[in-house]
Amino acid sequence: MKSHAVFTLILLAIVGCSISDPPATSSSAATDATPTSPTVTRVLAIAAEQMGVDQSKLEASTSLADLGADELDLVELVMTLEEEFDQTISDAEIERMSGGTDLTKGFGKLTMADLAALVED
């Protein structure tokens, strides 16, 4: 387990994993990743398996909020992506991608394409 993933997990345990109503829609900025790219396809498969949803229901524009993901789901998904793609994804990268400085509030805006872009960087 990577040290920043452990730190994130501890941080979330301290902050608490509150469940709140996700925003009704997602308006994440477009990324260079396309729905047909191999990276997006792999991210869709990983997210579908982890969240227990049918992969055919997911698109590159599907957000974590659309999936009803909480902070723990984000941590688990990031750890799985890091292992699958042999990458390190920092909290700062996730915050930058989600458009905010508070990781626990902005993560729901992240789309599958955003997550793919994080591992393509």
CB 22 within 8 A of CB 68: yes
Check residue 106 and give its pLDDT.
76
Task: Please provide the DSSP assignment of 75-95 as one string.
Answer: HHHHHHHHHHHT----HHHHH
Check residue 98 and give its pLDDT.
80
Q: Verify whether residue 114 is a known catalytic residue.
A: no
Positions in the chain whose pLDDT score sits under 70: 1-36, 100-105, 121
Whether this model's pTM surpasses 0.85: no
CA angle 19, 63, 27 (to 5 degrees): 105
Q: Looking at domain 3-17+34-120, does it have CATH number 3.30.420.40?
A: no
- Of the chain, the percentage scoring pLDDT greater than 70 comes to 64
- Active-site option among 32, 66, 70, 102: 70
